[in-house]
């Protein structure tokens, strides 16, 4: 280890998050005796302003040139401490963090073992930090034009928000008209507002806005480039191709409904008067609720969770079905005042604003509610010819504990949401990931729900997970806020931590091109060498580990730094032998 560095070590108790299991004073006492350590302090909340000021003061007064913070995950507070040492006059990359919260305190129940492990990780960080190199942030120009994929309520909202901020937008929709799934419904819950009126206003504004280029019956063929500087090819009407340059991409591809014929118990496709929620929506938009023979139904059964919350189909909740079922109960009651309406449900999810009141009002309008276990769904069978109705719905009613048969002339199946059939292709196109159910994965489900693993690519609406119109609109506006913030800066600042290829060692085998999950490696057919696109690289290390020639190095994660870190752990272990 070099002895030229003057290292400051700062141990954080994080209140009781770390201090409850790790003896932070003992860690500090151990660290101050290690070679190169010029200052070592323990503090309750090192990320607080006083904690940061302590580090800045020591850098300036003691001449520290490296800093080790023993605290929580770098993912949480590395930017905080990099900013602090920058204020002290150090390059922000002269910082190393030892994670003793997630890796010690939170995973151990033995105080001594947790403390010993914290000492080992601290020693490793101290051994590594002298080999850190100074880096400066990089910037690339920001193209202010955006591409919105999908012309439903999310895409319309995003396009309008950007255009109203005087930024150009391309809105690409694969169908021949805008509106998406919202265009298929009559009224919205819980206030029974007109979906047609809601959409008409937005579509009119989009079509009239000079900043929005609407491309109907079009699909994105290819996308290349990186945040702030993407290039896309758009195929329109199956033939014409348009090349565009954009800085950001918003994916708003929505959802498709579950195929009700997959649930054999309900008889969809066998009984003509078993219809899906979207079949009923079509009737409601036409202004008449009738059976296939044109007669008015007297007994209507509505079955929730068709294809959702099911071990056989989709385990997730589609979120909107419960309130939509209540909407149907109210609309059918208005259309057929003397109808007998029964709603079969597993749990009534009335979580949104005004939804609980909507549930209460629906009950007051004589909707009968029957609960069933999702593991034992109702069954629909044909009724006898003399019964006076077409079908029987048999259910093991949970609350009464009895098996009940309910007459039905019409059965409405509340089909859940599923990912669009082409979502896998879209994911590959924009280089983002999907979860086990096929929904697009956000950068962080709580703290960054509209960003993705690819910088400059955002997701909004039901392409990420089932959601209602208000949540979809909120997400669409959130994506535009993120994009406008970048546009205002005029350039994109990029982390200088990325992989580098030594052309003299590169054999041109292209293994790294196949391994890179971010498509951040190009191949030059003339030189027969690969090259890193630094702006797109996330320094994940796949190419470094996979290169058979050893031609790739990861900045800030060099072999020397990693080996010194390992040496630090082994050095601590040998000191106890």
End-to-end CA distance of the chain: 21
C-alpha dist (Å) from residue 96 to 2, 10, 81, 560, 569? 16, 11, 9, 15, 15
Residue 529 main-chain phi, psi, to 5 deg: -135, 150
pTM recorded for the entire structure: 0.86
Q: Residue 252: which of 487, 486, 472 has the closest Cα?
A: 472
Say if CB 378 and CB 405 are below 8 A apart: no
- Residue 577 pLDDT: 65
Cβ atoms < 10 Å from Cβ of 463? 28
* DSSP symbols for 455-505: TTEEE-GGGTS---HHHHHHHHHHHHHHHHHHHHHSEEEE-S--EEE-TTT
Query: What radius of gyration do the chain's Cα atoms show?
Result: 30
Say if CB 257 and CB 276 are below 8 A apart: yes
Q: State the residue for tokens 């007459």.
A: 407
- Residue 239 pLDDT: 83
- Residue 573 pLDDT: 85
**Residues 397-421 as b or e (16 or more Cβ within 10 Å = b):** beeeeeeeebbbbbbbbbbbbbbbe
In sequence order, what are the beta bridge partners of 234? 220, 242
Residue 410 main-chain phi, psi, to 5 deg: -140, 135
- Residue 498 pLDDT: 95
- Residue 213 pLDDT: 98
* Rounded distance between C-alpha atoms, residue 155 and residue 152, angstroms: 5
* Rounded distance between C-alpha atoms, residue 419 and residue 438, angstroms: 6
The one-digit pLDDT tens for each residue of the chain (577 residues) are 445 899 999 999 999 999 999 999 999 999 999 999 999 999 999 999 999 999 999 999 999 999 999 999 998 899 999 999 999 999 999 999 999 999 999 999 999 999 999 999 999 999 999 999 999 998 889 999 999 999 999 999 999 999 999 999 999 999 999 999 999 999 999 999 999 999 999 999 999 999 999 999 999 999 999 999 999 999 998 888 999 999 999 999 999 999 999 999 999 999 999 999 999 999 999 999 999 999 999 999 999 999 999 999 999 999 999 999 999 999 999 999 999 999 999 999 998 899 999 999 999 999 999 999 999 999 999 988 767 888 999 999 999 999 999 999 999 999 999 999 999 999 999 999 999 999 999 998 998 999 998 999 999 999 999 999 999 999 999 999 999 999 999 998 888 999 999 999 999 999 999 999 888 999 999 999 999 999 889 899 999 999 999 999 999 999 999 999 999 999 888 887 6
Domains and CATH numbers, the chain: 7-135 (3.40.50), 146-254+420-492 (3.50.50.60), 259-418 (3.50.50.60), 499-554 (3.30.70.20)
Label residue 166 exposed, middle or buried (CB < 10 Å: 0-12, 13-18, 19+): exposed
Q: State the residue for tokens 């034992």.
A: 376
Residues 6+ apart with CB under 8 A from 468: 319, 320, 323, 352
């Amino acid at each position: 280890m070099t002895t030229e560095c003057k290292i400051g070590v700062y141990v954080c108790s994080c209140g009781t998050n770390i201090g409850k299991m790790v003896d932070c004073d003992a860690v500090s006492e151990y660290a101050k005796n290690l070679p190169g350590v010029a200052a070592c302090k323990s503090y309750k909340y090192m990320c607080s302003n006083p904690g940061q000021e302590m580090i800045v003061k020591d850098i300036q007064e003691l001449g520290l040139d490296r800093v080790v913070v023993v605290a929580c995950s770098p993912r949480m507070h590395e930017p905080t401490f990099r900013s602090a040492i920058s204020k002290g006059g150090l390059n922000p990359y002269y910082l190393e963090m030892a994670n003793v919260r997630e890796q010690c305190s939170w995973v151990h129940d033995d105080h001594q073992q947790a403390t010993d492990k914290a000492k080992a990780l601290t020693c490793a960080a101290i051994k590594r930090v002298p080999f850190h190199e100074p880096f400066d942030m990089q910037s690339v120009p920001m193209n202010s034009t955006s591409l919105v994929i999908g012309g439903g309520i999310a895409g319309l909202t995003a396009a309008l928000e950007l255009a109203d901020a005087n930024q150009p937008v391309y809105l690409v929709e694969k169908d021949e008209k805008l509106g998406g799934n919202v265009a298929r419904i009559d009224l919205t819950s819980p206030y029974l507002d007109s979906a047609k009126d809601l959409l008409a206003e937005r579509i009119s504004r989009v079509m009239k806005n000079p900043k929005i280029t609407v491309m109907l019956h079009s699909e994105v063929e290819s996308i290349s480039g990186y945040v702030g500087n993407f290039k896309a090819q758009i195929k329109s009407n199956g033939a014409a191709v348009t090349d565009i340059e954009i800085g950001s991409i918003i994916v708003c591809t929505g959802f498709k409904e579950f195929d009700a014929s997959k649930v054999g118990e309900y008889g969809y496709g066998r009984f003509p008067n078993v219809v899906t929620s979207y079949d009923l929506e079509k009737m409601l938009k036409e202004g008449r609720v009738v059976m296939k023979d044109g007669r008015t139904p007297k007994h209507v059964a509505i079955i929730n969770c068709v294809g959702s919350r099911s071990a056989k189909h989709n385990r997730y909740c589609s979120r909107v079905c419960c309130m939509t079922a209540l909407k149907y109960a109210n609309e059918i009651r208005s259309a057929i005042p003397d109808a007998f309406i029964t709603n079969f449900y597993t749990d009534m999810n009335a979580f949104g604003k005004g939804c609980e009141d909507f549930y209460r009002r629906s009950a007051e309008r004589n909707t009968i509610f029957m609960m069933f276990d999702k593991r034992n769904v109702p069954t629909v069978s044909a009724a006898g010819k003399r019964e006076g109705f077409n079908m029987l719905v048999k259910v093991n009613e949970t609350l009464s504990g009895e098996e009940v048969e309910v007459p039905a002339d019409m059965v409405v199946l509340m089909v859940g949401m599923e990912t669009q059939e082409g979502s896998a292709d879209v994911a590959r196109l924009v280089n983002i990931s999907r979860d086990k159910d096929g929904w697009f994965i956000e950068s962080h489900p709580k703290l960054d729900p509209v960003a993705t693993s690819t910088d400059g690519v955002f997701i909004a609406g039901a392409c990420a997970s089932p959601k209602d119109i208000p949540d979809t609109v909120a997400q669409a506006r959130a994506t535009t806020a993120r994009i406008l913030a970048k546009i205002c800066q005029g350039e994109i600042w990029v982390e200088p931590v990325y992989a580098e290829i030594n052309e003299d060692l590169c054999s041109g085998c292209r293994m790294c091109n196949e391994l890179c999950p971010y498509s951040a490696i190009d191949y030059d057919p003339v030189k027969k060498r690969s090259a890193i696109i630094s702006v797109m690289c996330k320094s994940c290390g796949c190419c470094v580990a996979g290169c058979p020639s050893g031609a790739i190095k990861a900045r800030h994660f060099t072999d020397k730094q990693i080996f010194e870190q390992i040496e630090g752990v082994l050095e601590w272990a040998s000191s106890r032998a």
